[in-house]
Structure 1
Amino acid sequence: MAKGKSKTASDTPKRIPKKKLKQLVTDLLLANPSKIFNYKQVSNKLGVGDDITRRMVNELLYELAQEGFAEELQRGKFRAVMQNALVVGTLEMNPDGSADVITEDNREIFIPDFRLNHALHGDRVQISIYRQRRRGLLEGEVVRIIERAKRNFVGAIHFVGKNAFVIPDNKLMPYDIFIPKVELKDVRNGQKVIVQITEWPAREKNPSGKIVEVLGNPGVHEVEMHAILAEFELPYRFPEELDKLAEKISAKITDADYRERRDFRDVPTFTIDPFDAKDFDDALSVQMLPNGNIEVGVHIADVTHYVKPNSPIDNEAIERGTSVYLVDRCVPMLPERLSNFICSLRPNEEKLCFSAVFEMNENAEVINQWFGRTVILSKRRFTYEEAQQVIETGEGDMKEQILLLHTLAQKLRAERFKKGAIAFERIEVKFDLDPKGKPLGVYFKENKESNQLIEEFMLLANRKVAEFIGMQKKGRRELPFVYRIHDKPNEEKLNAFRSFITRFGYSISGTTDRQVSKSLNQLMEKVKGRPEQNLVETLALRSMAKARYSTDNIGHYGLGFKFYTHFTSPIRRYPDMMVHRLLDHYLKNGKPKDKEQIETLCKHSTNMEIKATEAERASIKYKQVEFMQDKVGETFKGVISGVTSFGLFVELTETQCEGLVSIRDLDDDFYRFDEDEFALVGERSGRKFTLGDEVEVEVWRTNLAKKQLDFKLVGMPGKSSKPSTPRRSPKKSSSKKAKVASSRKGQQKPKKKEKRRKR
């Protein structure tokens, strides 16, 4: 026998991982939908020569047939299942790299990570639905990116030889962005930058980009606040030329202004706002009428008197859509001269307003109403705390007016809940900050009677303005308008929430809207002060639809109103400016405005509101992590707020700071994720961790740049935390995806990065 060369490692064919091979086989079938293949032909097309991999190809063909991707026409011969539907929707990334597309008809389509075809979170995409997935859910593939949600990302830059990669802060952006050498001027390794994607060839795993701006070193307060705003593509400075234009706007009230307006300067008027507010856009007046009724004026800053349509300031306000409130600052929609001075209803200064004036009886029923432009003079600026003191003690400035309005507000509130409003009053996290922005303490803003006083009259004004325009009068054409709408909850998500709360001994009864809302209110009352309060309230909110702006009125489910709009905050919301202009136009018997144009602005305003809300949450998370930095090693009580295949999320009871207990650190047993129970279950001990369980944790690590907290489990009340038997070797988990409470994706928490990003 002739001697041959001994086989070396380099001669051994490199095996393709099964997941990658499955993708290649599927892509080949879909690229040739009319052709029939056996495993040998597929192997040859893919350049697979070794027997083990060829056998795997054969197994994968049968697996794809079982899953519905392919069909077996003859024994061993397969063809792709023809794609049967093309739909359009918005893509929402999941932390594991897969995604869901919410279609225009509100269906949810699952997209595997290998079928995204470079689509990213928020993109508007066209997808092909090609099969039913388990649990009746549809599965599809992105075939076209219609519109990118964003091209700019924020992250830290890391040099690799002469080139570099930016690792985005956004956990839903799973790709590093390649930066060529030519773009690496005036930037140092590790700095935070804004990077813009410039190209992404179809066959490249990673996009290429250029540096738009160098923000600075990570962990620095100003850098991180600017990074949060930039991440959501929100401005963090006002254009200098617009500030100069605003300085030229006169604050003087002319004789013509006085003549054209209803004069409320002698009527007792005041504002109630947070202690740190500067933009006071609403005031209340109240006086008794000769007939014994009560006149209540809801006076709103007349922003549109100063900001004209299509002016540079108006165009900037459209672009911004809303003011953005981070933990330490407000990024205004309008230049500061307008928002904090000219339009702000400051005490002892005559101001121009657009007002809703109501004649009410002692039962808070509206007898008559009037809408129009006014001039007012606020006699007093109250903080919520000062107004609350008057309500509680019956003493203080303008006590007669405040107590009368308080009585009316409580009657309005009771009637609102009687008619089906839902009492969603989430606790608001606030921080005591030092002059440099460092958090010294965490506290919670409560919704007391002084808040309710303002809330009820703002709701009344918003509702009555919407009714005035929206209620069809006989023989009148439709008047296109801006409505604030809120759809009924998704039945599947609501049922999942019903199922979840049973573990705490709660339930939601009823079938009609009013019965369900009444039951939800009873639930919110029952959970007050209990450890599971924040979790139950959060999941209840997530089972609801999201409120938005639209010209098509469907009512507001959460408030129980058939007509609702936003009229009361034009300093900080562009839709309110739109409402002021439309209301003024229709009061003057103007012709119907262009509905399509209004709808476009409604959609943009909704999108900007979502971005502003996400930025606010990110800033809160950043400050929570910063607050916990000097508490490493300390133990705290908390509640399990999320369960995933990679660990437990725990929310601390005292501060609502949330962190992860990694499954790797639950070393007393091997834990598997139970999808149906939304729990981690020990294979040997049967020990179970579920949503809402009270636990005690130790702060282990803080990562300020990534806004992450890591905890270690110390114990559970009434349960042993250390079983005596050591951990067994792991078994294979049947779970394919990490899912949590109210829906398949709704409560899933961000997955920790345990391996390098795709490159």
Structure 2
Amino acid sequence: MSKGKGKRLNKKQIAEMLQTLFQQNPNETFSLKQIFKALKFDTHPVKMMAVDLMDQMAWDDFLTKASDNSYRLNLKTQVQEGTFIRKANGKNSFQPDDGGKPIFVSERNSMFALNGDRVKVAMMARRERHIKEAMVVEILSHKMDQAVGKLKVEKDYAFLVTEGNIFVHDILIPKKKLKGGKTGEKAVVKITQWPSKDSKNIVGEVIDVLGKEGDNNVEMHAILAQYGLPYKYPKQVEEAAEKIEPGITPEEISRREDFREVFTCTIDPKDAKDFDDALSFRPIANGKYEVGVHIADVSHYVKEGSIIDKEAVKRATSVYLVDRTIPMLPERLCNFICSLRPDEEKLCYSVIFTLDEEANVKSYHIAHTVIKSNRRYAYEEVQDILMGKDGDYANELRTLDRLAKKLREKRFKGGAVKFDREELHFDIDENGKPVRAYFKKSNDATQLIEEFMLLANRTVAESIGKAKKPAGKGQPSKAKTLPYRIHDQPDPTKLETLREFVVKFGYKMKTSGTKGAISRSLNTLMEDCQGKKEQKLIETVALRAMMKAKYSTHNIGHYGLAFEYYTHFTSPIRRYPDTMVHRLLTKYQDGGRSANQEKYEELCEHCSDMEQVAQQAERDSIKYKMVEFMEDKIGNEYDAHISGIQSYGIYCEIDENHCEGMVPMRDLDDDYYDFDERNYCLVGRRHHHKYQLGDAVRIKVARANLEKRQLDFTIAD
């Protein structure tokens, strides 16, 4: 048996050659003669071993025996479509469309696919061991056609160096396509040529030079461009917004319910400019109250199919980076015309409730309205008033707070899950540099607004989703199409892992029974671990068991809120699904037929995807500011706790400022540590020292890499 210079082929080599032949030709049937010729199997022992191996591959369902002496790839079980996931550490994987487990793809079998690309893969015959592996046989579509990075300009050529190994190779740029970019500048590059069998190079052209690395605006724009998010508003869309008439005609007012004389206020963060919700309040007869939830009537100004609407669909959401908002709508609309600014008449779409002292909804109606806000409050002002300080309309605010607390209590009794997660915020100076890092916690003022928004969203969803029963004996009418905000039940396997995990700390938890019983058990667990050493640890593990909320026209309810019907109605300035809901509600109130479900389901999927992308960009901006905040603190020591554990190291969060960094495994040099994934810990082989999620540690700041948005710590001696 020979290969090259007389080297004998072994069984493993023959198997790999056969696999490659069939995978690279997934639609062809090969006779034994063709196989032997293609692979230059020219000795009897090699041919016999190849036949044995092919029989085994057919037994394993990797191949199909087309006849006594011919084989082809078993496309039924071996070829799948899905998403390619590229990892910087080379552990790439393929996520099948059917939602099955990710399958490993080695670099040599990746066809240079990029992260997020849609690919077709062939399953590889299993090796002697059990690892399941796939090989990319076709790239169906690329997720992105642009990249962000740093330019390197040489005498005869230039290229873009990208962070995070998104691309296997740097992107070549012809000198005439540089758009004036210089070495060291950050740029956005459009890819014009992908890798192929003939060339491994990726070729591109510069579409925008962002500027010098380290400049705050450049870095924020780079984060947005990296996710394909816009960092400037198209001129023609802004021009269209300038032409919108902001005035409200007497005819328009006559078509609406008038709330201009009723006490109305907005309550928002102190730096907010886009006020899209307001509350009105007045006592009415028999100890009842009328509470109006008034939402900016964006769909009155933004017509479906208009240039502004098309841009809003594309964006689907506003993006909130640490130091700026990238709005879904042009500034003239979101901060001026639609924004519910004090002492200005504004058009709204409203849900008006009649509530009793126990916050029971006695009646409600949904109507187009006109309002005039009496007062714009920041959350801090309202919180002071609720704590007893004097202030404008103090009695009204305190009554609203009392009703909100009753609504909240009922929600948790009904099985809503209680996760009060803290959010990291920064105080920023005029150059965009962070000067303080702190956690923002929810309080009575934020919860007051939250409860009335939840009530409005739920009520709107029920008004359409609950099938109306006819007066006679007929069948209930079918619910009309509406985008819902849905949240599935937790993953049962992850719930069971959580139960097994908390038992070690002496806690009990239900993982079976009704939805309400499980969520009440979760809430009890959250309450019982409050203030304990293991609190953060248990909260983190519990959150991992939760599914992600998303948009869909197929309603399955919202598990986390314990609502059978829930939608997003209250933020049309910053979320496109809310605008869709406003339009459909108006159509249905005017007697219109049910909208095309397929069209709206596609829009829901797009909005869910864009929400995820926006969240990733927001997280990256937080990471960048975190590193920037810590870069002058190298060598400082801090008390911290372990906030995450991976096979490559431990994440630690500083107690004082909540900045998170990683202690790489290579710096844990006192022992060799094994990763115990089930128990969220690292265990030393020799000394059995354990690093567990939630443990207190003393760390030293070792490195702050702004380019990689990465903080490295070491364990302090």
Bin of the TM-score, shorter chain as denominator length: 0.7 to 0.9
**Partner AA of 1:478 in structure 2:** A
1:90 equivalenced with 2:91 (yes/no):
no
Paired residue for 1:195? Answer: 189
Cα drift, residue 137 of structure 1: 8.9
Aligned to 1:112: 105
Matches for 1:410-421 after TM superposition, within 5 Å? 410-421=405-416
Q: Could you say which residue in structure 2 is the equivalent of 1:30?
A: 23
Q: CA deviation at 1:120?
A: 2.4
1:658 aligns with 2:660: yes
Following superposition of structure 1 onto structure 2, how do residues 279-358 of structure 1 map, counting pairs within 5 Å? 279-358=274-353
* One of 254, 263, 267 as aligned partner of 2:262: 267
AA in 2 matched with 1:201: P
Q: Structure 1 residue 706 and structure 2 residue 700: aligned?
A: no
**Match for residue 695 of structure 1 among 694, 697, 702:** 697
State the secondary structure of the residue aligned to 1:429. strand
Distance 1:417 1:134, change over 3 A: farther
Q: Secondary structure at the match of 1:376?
A: strand
Structure 1 residue 41 displacement after superposition: 7.2
Alpha-carbon distance between aligned partners in 1 of 2:636 and 2:5, rounded to the nearest angstrom: 53
Distance 1:395 1:600, change over 3 A: same
Counterpart of 2:214 in structure 1 is: 219
Shift of 1:674: 4.6
Which residue of 590, 604, 607 maps to 1:605? 607
Label 1:402 to 1:102 Cα distance change in 2 as closer, same or farther (>3 A): farther
Q: Which runs of 5+ in 2 are unaligned?
A: 470-475
- Indicate the residue corresponding to 1:525 in structure 2: 527
Q: Distance in 2 between matches of 1:19 and 1:700?
A: 45
Report the CA distance between 1:208 and its aligned residue. 2.5
Give the deviation of 1:519 after TM superposition. Answer: 2.0
| Equivalent residue, structure 2, for 1:751 | none
Aligned partners of 1:281 and 1:344 also within 8 Å: yes
Q: Provide the residue aligned with 2:236 in structure 1.
A: 241
What's the CA shift for 1:672? 4.1
Residue equivalent to 2:473: none
Which shows bigger deviation, 494-503 or 309-318? Answer: 494-503
1:102: how far off? 4.0
Question: Partner amino acid for 2:701?
Answer: V
Structure 1 gap segments, 5+ residues each: 1-10, 48-53, 716-759
Q: How big is each residue's C-alpha offset from its partner over 1:612-668, in whole Å with a ceiling of 9 and x where there is no partner? A: 111111100100000001110001122223333332222222223222222222222
Once residues 137 and 497 of structure 1 are traced to their aligned partners in structure 2, the CA distance between those partners, rounded to angstroms, is: 27
Pair 1:155–1:453, CA change in 2 (3 A) = same
**One-letter code of the match for 2:556?**
I
Post-superposition CA distance 1:217-244 (Å, at most 9, x none) = 2121111000011111111111222222
* C-alpha contact 1:566 1:575 (8 A) present in aligned 2: yes
The structure-2 alpha-carbon separation of the partners of 1:510 and 1:291, relative to structure 1 and needing over 3 Å to count, comes to: same
Whether the aligned pair in 2 keeps the contact of 1:84 and 1:129 (CA below 8 Å) is no
Q: Report which stretch shifted further, 269-278 or 103-112.
A: 103-112
On the 8 A contact 1:279/1:571 being kept in 2, the answer is yes
Residues 652-706 of structure 1, C-alpha deviation per residue, up to 9 Å, x if partnerless?
2222322222222222233344555554433332333333332211101111111
Q: Distance in 2 between matches of 1:604 and 1:45?
A: 50
**CA 1:274–1:151: 2 relative to 1, 3 Å:** same
- Report the equivalent of 1:491: 492
SS at match of 1:630: coil
1:481 Cα deviation from its structure 2 partner: 0.9
Amino acid at match of 1:121: N
Indicate the larger mover: 256-265 or 130-139: 130-139
Residue 621 of structure 2 is matched in structure 1 by 619
CA 1:42–1:367: 2 relative to 1, 3 Å: farther
RMSD: 3.6
Q: Which amino acid aligns with 1:255?
A: P
1-structure distance, mates of 2:187, 2:240 = 31
1:554-607 deviations in Å (ceiling 9; x for gaps):
111111111110000011111111110100110111111111111121111111
| 8 Å contact kept, 1:301–1:353 | yes
On the 8 A contact 1:334/1:571 being kept in 2, the answer is: yes
Cα distance between partner residues in 2 of 1:46 and 1:207:
36
Spell out, residue by residue over 1:350-403, the C-alpha distance to the aligned partner (whole angstroms, 9 max, x if none): 111100001111111111111010011111111111111111116321112111
1:166 positional shift: 2.3
Using the aligned pairs only, state the percent identity: 47
Secondary structure of the corresponding residue to residue 108 of structure 1? coil
Mapping 1:131-530, distance limit 5 Å: 139-159=133-153, 162-170=156-164, 173-203=167-197, 204-393=199-388, 395-474=390-469, 475-502=476-503, 504-512=505-513, 513-530=515-532
Contact 1:110 1:139 in 2 (8 A): yes
SS class of match (1:238): coil
Give the conservation status (yes or no) of the 8 Å contact 2:62–2:124. no
Q: Deviation at 1:501?
A: 4.3
Name the structure 2 match of 1:718: none
> CA distance change for structure 1 residues 107 and 526 in 2, over 3 Å: closer, same or farther?
same
CA shift digits 1:525-568 (9 cap, x unpaired): 34444555445434433322111111111111111111110000
Q: Is the 8 A contact 2:556 2:564 kept in 1?
A: yes
Cα deviation 1:59-108 (Å, max 9, x = unaligned):
xx89x9799697999xxx99997354344433444443334444444322
Q: Equivalents in 2 of 1:501, 1:131: separation in Å?
A: 40
User: Does structure 1 retain, via aligned residues, the 8 Å contact 2:351–2:366?
Assistant: yes
* Residue 466 (structure 1) shift: 0.4
Q: Which moved more, 1:539-548 or 1:116-125?
A: 116-125
The size of the alignment, in residue pairs, is: 691
Give distance in 1, aligned partners of 2:146 and 2:12.
31
CA contact (8 A) 1:199 1:207 kept: yes
For residues 489-514 of structure 1, the C-alpha deviation after alignment (integer angstroms, 9 at most, x for no partner) is 22233333444445555453241321
Question: Relative to structure 1, is the Cα distance of residues 31 and 435 closer, same or farther in structure 2, using a 3 angstrom cutoff?
Answer: closer
Which residue type is aligned with residue 82 of structure 2? G
Closer/same/farther in 2, CA of residues 585 and 443 from structure 1, 3 Å limit? same
| In 1, Cα distance between equivalents of 2:244 and 2:18 | 66
- Report if aligned partners of 1:108, 1:137 keep a CA contact under 8 Å in 2: no
Mapped contact 1:487–1:557 kept (Cα < 8 A): yes
Q: Distance in 2 between matches of 1:565 and 1:582?
A: 12
Mean Cα displacement is larger for which, 420-429 or 680-689?
A: 680-689
- Deviates further, 664-673 or 485-494: 664-673
Measured after TM superposition, the shift of residue 277 of structure 1 is: 0.4
What is the letter of the counterpart of residue 82 of structure 1? N
Distance across 2 between alignment mates of 1:196 and 1:530: 51
Q: Distance in 2 between matches of 1:416 and 1:487?
A: 17
SS at match of 1:393: coil
Residues 242/134 of structure 1: CA separation in 2 closer, same or farther (3 Å cut) = farther
State TM-score, norm by structure 2.
0.88
CA contact (8 A) 2:551 2:608 kept: yes
CA separation of 1:414/1:302 partners in 2, compared to 1, >3 Å: closer, same or farther?
A: same
Residue aligned with 2:639, SS? strand
Distance 1:45 1:490 in 2: 51
Q: Is the 8 A contact 1:426 1:537 kept in 2?
A: no
Q: 1:66 to 1:104 in 2, by over 3 A?
A: closer
Mapped contact 1:70–1:79 kept (Cα < 8 A): no
Q: Tell me if the contact between 1:69 and 1:130 (Cα under 8 Å) persists in the aligned partners.
A: no
Which secondary structure state, in structure 1, belongs to the residue aligned with residue 632 of structure 2?
helix
**After superposition, where does 1:533-682 map in structure 2 within 5 Å?**
533-674=535-676, 677-682=679-684
Equivalents in 1 of 2:525, 2:542: separation in Å? 10
